[in-house]
Amino acid sequence: MLNKRQKLMIRDLERSAITITASQLAEKYNVSLRTVRNDIEEIAQYLREQNIEFIRIPGQGMRIISGKEISSKLSQVLKNSEFPYLDSTQRSIILLFNLLFADGPVSIGELCELFDVSKGTIISTVKYSKKAIRDLKVNIVRYQNKGYRLDGSLKNIIKGCEQLIRLEGEELIYNTLIDKDNFFISAEDEKKLNQVLEFISNDLSLYISHHLFLSFMIYCVVCRSINNIRSHFTNDSSDKLIKLTHYLEDLFSIHLNKESVDILKYLLNGSTDYSANTSGIELDTKLPEAIDSMIEYVNSSGMYQINDTDTLRVDLIIHLRSAIDAINSGLPRDNPLLEEIRNSYPNEFNLIKSASQKFNKIYPLKLDDDEIGYLTLYFLRSFDKVEKMQDTRVMVVCNTGRSASKLLATRLINNVPDIHIVSMSSIYNISSNPKILDNVDFVISTIPLKELNKPYVVISPLLQKSEISKVKEAIWLAKSEIQLDDSLEAVASTMLEEENTKLENTETIENRKEYYDAKNIVPYSVTTLFGEVSMNLFYLISDLYPKGIQPESFNNVSGIYAHVLMSIPRWQRKEFIEPGDDEELITRHRRQYEAIKKYLHQESERLGIFIPDSEIIAILRYYVY
């Protein structure tokens, strides 16, 4: 088992561009050459077990060459007790942590005792830290006879923390915060933080994408708000934000001012689906109009073809609403990929920059290059879908033979003209001659295909309009090497992974529940979800079939049930079916349409997801066909 010093030596040997001698390591860690040699033998044994190359050149030194950064796996936390062994950047992080979460100024003597280093080491670390945070409008101030304190507005401190997390990683920063030896956060406060996340997830019905990030940031807001005086401010915030504000104030016995509430809104936008859940409530009608003007400009340029316009529009609305909140909070977002985007995609970047001028004429928000870089990525994804589909060789498979396959292929060509259909076949032909798949990239089938070594998607033989987006997305995901699987087992496994991640963050190893694989035992949370879905669907089906379900309608009912069940993860990802011209269908089945609409409205509130009307039509088709 490697000790702390040996883990730190691995980091040095791994990150160094040149060889390091034993004498250099002995001097850095203030140990004898004999101790270093013993440490090196332990390290060499560990590296052999990991099949990692360890180079030792007599008279010159040592190096570790690895395609993966093993030191990051060995230690995902910075400790006060390891301060003497850390490099300048890591010492700076530890110092800033101690100043950020301290109740008041911290004296040099207290820091010397805490880190077990000299006064000179503390002073040099402070100088390095001041230089590191100079551009963030945050400063380390020394009060005479009192000590050091981190000085700056909450928005600048949050911006600094964001940058720190981006550079060092969520896991390292969060683990350093909650490490029991560091005493930055008490066990009671850690428990409260977990309560806050559960409140956001369960009571506010918001999906949290970055749990560690949100936990750390909320605690920063809490710590900097301890001395705030309650101020009654006018705000147009949503009910969810107001509820979270009151919950935090009651839980931590603090008062949040307007700046703190603005920061919370910014954090919710960045790490939950808060924006999607407030659509239609706060949304300025000019924002979607301005976005449409951008999309229209790009389309009219003739340079690129946009795929899934509705998905692109929703993505841009959510992103720009988050950007607007960030700017209003005084937190403009730097784009770390800006230069790479400019250099790699100069034509696309300039096109979106020109389109942003159309946006600005309708909506009073000037998009800087950082935001244009972000928007370029959304458009690139749409362009990429078109290119990948055009390059994809598709086989159409139908269980009723070649004639039905030909009919389906015709409907695909009419509705998804970007794909390239190279052959049509039946399941029997594939089973008897697997080599016919050699020249195929993707399979579109009307039945599930077991043990198929090609990516595929299952649709109905008539290719409903609701399935067109499914085909496009499945092909793009397959070409992007992302597996698409909305099966029951995948839904359960995804939820199970989230549950176990939550357990790892909240429970000790001794108290942790046994891990259950979705293939053998489905966890309670998953069965609860399926139970709720089944109960609500029962009432919907009762409304659709008030006189009872006839035998000929059993397939329709099973189709409705399966469709809704497998749509939940798609809805949570905010991936919705494209709307179409379905007025005739709605007119002929108005009563059923309204029943489904009522049901989906209830599901929207229960899941905390805005579900558009296009999903009503998808369910209605299962009732009709």
80-178 and 4-74 share a CATH fold: yes
- Residue in the structure block whose two tokens are 């595929």: 456
Q: What is the pLDDT of residues 322-370, one digit of tens each?
A: 787 777 766 767 777 788 888 888 888 999 999 999 898 888 888 889 8
Domain locations along the chain: 4-74, 80-178, 187-277, 286-388, 391-479, 488-624
Question: Which alpha helices (DSSP H) does 225-285 contain, by range?
Answer: 239-252, 258-271, 274-277
Confidence of residue 559 (pLDDT cuts 50, 70, 90): confident
Count of CB atoms situated within 10 Å of the CB of 233: 12
Residue 177's Cβ-count burial label (10 Å; 0-12, 13-18, 19+) is buried
pLDDT at 94: 93
Q: Which amino acid appears at position 500 of this protein?
A: N
Q: What is the pLDDT of residues 81-108, one digit of tens each?
A: 888 878 788 899 999 999 999 888 999 9
Task: Return the ∠ at Cα 365 (arms to 271 and 372), rounded to 5°.
Answer: 65
580 CA to centre of own chain:
30
Give 379-434 as a DSSP string.
HHHHHHHHHHHHT-EEEEE-TT-HHHHHHHHHHHHHH-TTSEEEEEE-HHHHHH-G
Q: Quick one: average pLDDT of 450-460? A: 80
Judge contact between 398 and 408, C-beta under 8 A: yes
- Tell whether domain 286-388 is in CATH 1.10.1790.10: yes
Confidence of residue 510 (pLDDT cuts 50, 70, 90): very low
For the record, the structure tokens of 396 come out as 């159409």
- Residue in the structure block whose two tokens are 């006018």: 234
Judge contact between 323 and 290, C-beta under 8 A: no
In the predicted structure, residue 301 carries a pLDDT above the cut 50: yes
Confidence of residue 514 (pLDDT cuts 50, 70, 90): very low
Nearest to 611 by CA among 551, 567, 581, 550: 567
Q: What is the pLDDT of residues 188-228, one digit of tens each?
A: 999 999 999 989 988 888 878 788 889 999 999 998 887 55
pLDDT at 489: 40
- Residue in the structure block whose two tokens are 């809490």: 222
For the record, the structure tokens of 62 come out as 């040592």
DSSP single-letter state for residue 184: S
Q: What is the pLDDT of residues 105-155, one digit of tens each?
A: 999 999 999 999 999 999 999 999 998 888 778 899 988 888 999 988 888
Q: Quick one: average pLDDT of 378-397? A: 72
Q: Alpha-carbon distance 198 to 337, whole Å?
A: 33
In the predicted structure, residue 483 carries a pLDDT above the cut 80: no
Q: Is 281 helix (H, G, I), strand (E, B) or coil?
A: coil
Q: Quick one: average pLDDT of 421-450? A: 79
Q: What is the pLDDT of residues 34-89, one digit of tens each?
A: 889 888 988 888 888 777 888 888 778 888 887 666 666 666 788 898 888 787 88
Q: How far is CA 566 from CA 516, 559, 592, in A?
A: 21, 11, 21
**Right CATH for 80-178 from 1.10.10.10, 1.20.1260.10, 3.40.50.300, 3.40.50.1000:** 1.10.10.10
In the predicted structure, residue 521 carries a pLDDT above the cut 70: no
Q: How far is CA 374 from CA 42, 340, 358, 585, in A?
A: 46, 12, 17, 39
In the predicted structure, residue 482 carries a pLDDT above the cut 60: no
pLDDT at 304: 75
Q: Which amino acid appears at position 143 of this protein?
A: Y
Weakest mean pLDDT among 37-51, 78-92, 467-481, 546-560: 467-481
In the predicted structure, residue 1 carries a pLDDT above the cut 70: no
Judge contact between 412 and 421, C-beta under 8 A: yes
pLDDT at 440: 84
Confidence of residue 603 (pLDDT cuts 50, 70, 90): confident
In the predicted structure, residue 265 carries a pLDDT above the cut 90: no
**Could you name the CATH architecture of 4-74?**
Orthogonal Bundle (1.10)
Percent of the chain, pLDDT > 70?
79
Point out which residues pair with 65 in neighbouring strands. 53
Judge contact between 483 and 473, C-beta under 8 A: no
- Superfamily of chain region 391-479: Response regulator (3.40.50.2300)
**Whole-number average pLDDT of the chain:** 78
Point out which residues pair with 62 in neighbouring strands. 20, 56
Give 355-388 as a DSSP string.
HHHHHHHHSS----HHHHHHHHHHHHHHHHHHHH
Q: Which one has a higher pLDDT value, 173 or 483?
A: 173
Confidence of residue 271 (pLDDT cuts 50, 70, 90): confident
Nearest to 469 by CA among 295, 332, 614, 327: 614
